[in-house]
Chains A and B, each alone.
Chain A
Amino acid sequence: SQQGEEDPQALSIQEGENATMNCSYKTSINNLQWYRQNSGRGLVHLILIRSNEREKHSGRLRVTLDTSKKSSSLLITASRAADTASYFCAGLLGANSKLTFGKGITLSVRP
């Protein structure tokens, strides 16, 4: 079953603009993670936010978590063409290490 549901499904922006991607989830989580996937490749971990955190930054990435609304957002500032990829949110449930992924958002950054 899908834990995360990303929104929008696809996003197209101009280089230099900010990209905001949203994720909603269904059940309580220990943490929420965001991953990037370049076309035809494996996923790469971007950032992790724990359930007791509200906001986290890593370089041009900013992620927020609202556990009351069961939602998270990923902001990429000053986007670059190299940010073109699919982005997935994934929730970690319980004490084990099983992640449940959303269906992904396709981000296109136009040069």
Chain B
Amino acid sequence: DVKVTQSSRYLVKRTGEKVFLECVQDMDHENMFWYRQDPGLGLRLIYFSYDVKMKEKGDIPEGYSVSREKKERFSLILESASTNQTSMYLCASSFGLGTLEQYFGPGTRLTVT
């Protein structure tokens, strides 16, 4: 079975903290994605990566960075957390280029106080 795991289901951080969200997939997928999900806004793409050490900005990259040192792991970094980054963060992966579906992790609900 395809599996995407995220390091935490729930996370509470303070404003200004540096936050790391980790995502690991066990399917040898080339592509990995980070989304945030907010009520009324749906899923919005933050960053994605097609290969190790490669990254591309999504629709809302401001305030975030990513790291992909190994194929199976894609990290999302909030350099200085702010309250408007309180959200559900979803990681996904997919195989190759083109038409195949994405597999999602269970999500991390981050609260920044």
Contact = CB atoms under 8 A, between A and B. Distances in A.
A31 B99 contact: yes
B64 interface: no
Interface string A19-63: 000000000001101010000111111001010000000000000
A100 B45 contact: yes
A13 interface: no
Contacts of A35: 104
A63 to B, nearest CB: 13
B61 interface: no
B9 to A, nearest CB: 9
A43 B45 contact: no
A48 B6 CA distance: 25
Interface string A93-111: 0011111111110000000
Tell me which of B40, B42, B48, B96 has the highest count of chain A C-beta atoms within 10 A of its own C-beta.
B42
Contact of A42 (B4, B31, B94): B4
Interface residues of B, number: 31
A83 to B, nearest CB: 18
Given A42-B106, A44-B104, A102 B42 contact: yes
Given A40-B107, A42-B106, A48 B101 contact: yes
Nearest to A31: B99
B97 A43 contact: no
Contact count band on A: 20 to 34
Contacts of B107: 40-42
Tell me which of B31, B101, B109 has the highest count of chain A C-beta atoms within 10 A of its own C-beta.
B101
A93 B77 CA distance: 26
B62 interface: no
Interface of B: 4, 31, 33, 35, 40-45, 48, 50, 58-59, 88, 90, 92, 94, 96-107, 109
11 contacts: A31-B99, A41-B106, A42-B104, A42-B105, A42-B107, A43-B104, A48-B100, A97-B48, A98-B33, A98-B58, A103-B42
Interface of A: 1-2, 30-31, 33, 35, 40-45, 48, 50, 88, 92, 95-104
